[in-house]
Amino acid sequence: MEEAPRPNVSAQDVLAGPIPAHVACVMDGNGRWAARRGLPRTEGHGAGEAALLDAVEGALDLSIPWITMYAFSTENWRRPADEVRYLMGFNESLLLRRRDELHEKGVRIRFAGRRDWRVPKRVLRRMDESVDLTKDNRRCTLTMAFNYGGRAEIVDAVRQLVADGVPANKVDEKAIRSRLYYPDMPDPDLMIRTSGETRISNFLLWQLAYSELVFDPVLWPDFRRQHLFAAVREFQQRQRRYGGIS
């Protein structure tokens, strides 16, 4: 199968304009990428690794300080047990393979999501090791949304509010925001979803309130930094109004 075309956009082309401080990405289309090649879906997930690493490189090229990648949703447990098992093992081994190079590049790795009993212990261990290894890096923070759901995050924040004994008249946006998984993380300026699906699928529901959304038909395994650059260029052409007038 021939290679998917890449947008003809370079880092230089976009560096003249405003660069988003936080780009969030729904890495979608692995299964369809594999199906088109007559391969099992898991091969698509495997091929997504190169796309993820190149996207991180692209973010570093643009000096984007925050990137968040949706790797596994709270709804993805609905998939066949074999695929779920593959994804758990794949994410664990990806960390083992890639954490040193990410660390050398100055990337801080974090995870957003629920650490519930369904996530195998050894995956949690690998996550903790990666976080610990890279915790002092500041060039770019890569947050992997893993066993992540936007509603679950809000529920967890509300539980914390109640546990903290916050009275009703003290509940405001700041009180909720400060109880999200990473209160220091700025809201995404730009959210990219691949594979042509035009939905949020429970990603960062609170934080995406005023993000610019870019939907790219490219299937995730074919995504490369040029797609990121093209999305940033599109972002630069948007007019953000936040409910006001320009």
Instruction: Kindly list the catalytic residues.
Output: 28, 76
Least distance between Mg ion and beta carbon 112 (Å): 19
Mask of contacts with ligand IPE, 1-30, x by CB under 6 A? Answer: -------------------------xxxxx
Instruction: Mark out the alpha helices in the chain (DSSP H runs).
Output: 11-15, 30-36, 41-61, 81-104, 121-134, 150-163, 173-177, 225-236
Please tell me the distance from the alpha carbon of residue 104 to that of residue 102, in angstroms, as a whole number. 5
β-partners of residue 233 are none
Mask of contacts with ligand IPE, 85-104, x by CB under 6 A? Answer: --x-----------------
Among 22, 24, 27, 28, binds Mg ion (CB under 5 A): 28
Considering CB distances under 5 to 8 angstroms, the limit depending on partner class, which of Mg ion, ligand IPE, none binds residue 30?
A: ligand IPE
- With contact defined as beta carbons under 8 Å apart, do 193 and 25 qualify? yes
Closer by beta carbon to Mg ion, 40 or else 65: 40
* DSSP-assigned letter for residue 169: G
Among 13, 49, 187, 197, binds ligand IPE (CB under 6 A): 197
- With contact defined as beta carbons under 8 Å apart, do 46 and 237 qualify? no
Within residues 57-76, the interface with ligand IPE by CB under 6 A covers 70-73, 76
Q: Is 153 helix (H, G, I), strand (E, B) or coil?
A: helix
* Residue ranges that bind ligand IPE, judged by CB under 6 A: 26-32, 70-73, 76, 87, 195, 197, 199, 201, 220
